[in-house]
Amino acid sequence: MSNKIDLNKLSPQQLVDFRKSIDQEVTHFTQSLQALQAAQSKLKECITSIDNLEAGKSEDLLIPLTSSLYIPGKVVKRNEYLVDIGTGYYVEKSAQDGKSVYEAKIKKLDQDAKKLKDILVEKNDLLNAVNLILRRKVIELEKQQQQQTATS
Amino acid sequence: MSDIKQQFESLSLEFSNDQNSLNELISARSQLETQYQENKIVLAEFENLNEDSKIYKLTGPVLLPQDFTEAKLNVTKRIEFIEGEISRVETKIADQEKKIETTRNKLLAVRAQLGQ
């Protein structure tokens, strides 16, 4: 961070506001992380589907029309898949190539997730520090008030 | 006195309006970034393909076959367009930030007058 501020110099009100904004950031990053993990598990499902289809000897399969309605079908061509590469483009690929597309995507998501986790750890540390200082300030304030009531 | 108060109110209204439009611009910017990244991934994928690859474009509910060079050109064009949009939104954001700064200064000046 370029502009380091001494947290001890902030007023309790500022600290509370600061904590609120960190909280918001943490929620935002946690949501992003969850979205990344959801995307990853979807990609993993694609790979398992390819593996299953390639490993299976039989050509019969059930095609879902809805989530609870299926019709029997047959695999016409093996080793030929249409892979979604994004923004509405689909490319015909072999099982191996299709899998490598998904694997590359998963790897990239892994890297992003790692970066996000690092940020989250950093933010949590900051949050703890703010909480600590805030608590100290509150205790100080209470002491001051007690002294005032004692003297008056 | 009421004159200054009125001025203060209209300025603070202007200030929050400015901030709202800045927020809108920023969310537009992040949306563009998402599209930009997605298109870049697609283009990177096209780099790994060749003329013989069968490419389909999802148009509505149907997949239409598309020529490799055409599809690649489309994505490149789209990336150029998005880049243009990004720089356009970024200049707008900079302008808006300047505007907010001037409004804020005016607001502070009026508030100082009010305080007297």
The 10s digit of each residue's pLDDT in B76-88 is 999 999 999 999 9
Reduce the DSSP state of residue A61 to 3 states and report it: strand
* Residue from A84, A87, A107, A108 whose CB has the most chain B CBs within 10 Å, to mutate: A87
Nearest to A40 by CA among A103, A89, A115: A103
Domains and CATH numbers, chain B: 2-115 (1.10.287.370)
* Residue from A91, A93, A101 whose CB has the most chain B CBs within 10 Å, to mutate: A91
Of A87, A91, A101, Cβ closest to residue B39: A87
Contact between chains at A91 and B45 (C-beta distance less than 8 A): yes
CA–CA dist A109, A121 (Å, integer): 18
What is the percent of chain A with per-residue pLDDT over 90, rounded to a whole number?
A: 65
Give the model's confidence band at A1: pLDDT under 50 very low, under 70 low, under 90 confident, else very high.
very low
Could you tell me if A26 and A124 are in contact, meaning their C-beta atoms sit under 8 angstroms apart? yes
How far is B49 from chain A, CA to nearest CA, in Å? 9
Predicted-assembly ipTM surpassing the 0.95 threshold: no
How far is A57 from chain B, CA to nearest CA, in Å? 26
* Residues whose CB falls within 8 Å of the CB of residue B51, separated by 6 or more in sequence, listed in order: B68, B69
Region B32-43: mean pLDDT is 94
How far is B115 from chain A, CA to nearest CA, in Å? 22
Boundaries of every domain in chain A: 14-147
Residue type for position A107: K
* Residue B23: count of CB within 10 angstroms of its CB: 11
Lowest mean pLDDT among A28-32, A113-117, B5-9: B5-9
Of A82, A85, A92, Cβ closest to residue B42: A85
Residue A25 has pLDDT above 90, yes or no: yes
Region B37-52: mean pLDDT is 89
* Residue from B49, B64, B82 whose CB has the most chain A CBs within 10 Å, to mutate: B49
- The third-level CATH classification (topology) of the domain covering A14-147 is Helix Hairpins (1.10.287)
The answer to whether A4 faces chain B, any CB pair under 8 Å, is: no
Contact between chains at A92 and B53 (C-beta distance less than 8 A): yes
How far is A137 from chain B, CA to nearest CA, in Å? 30
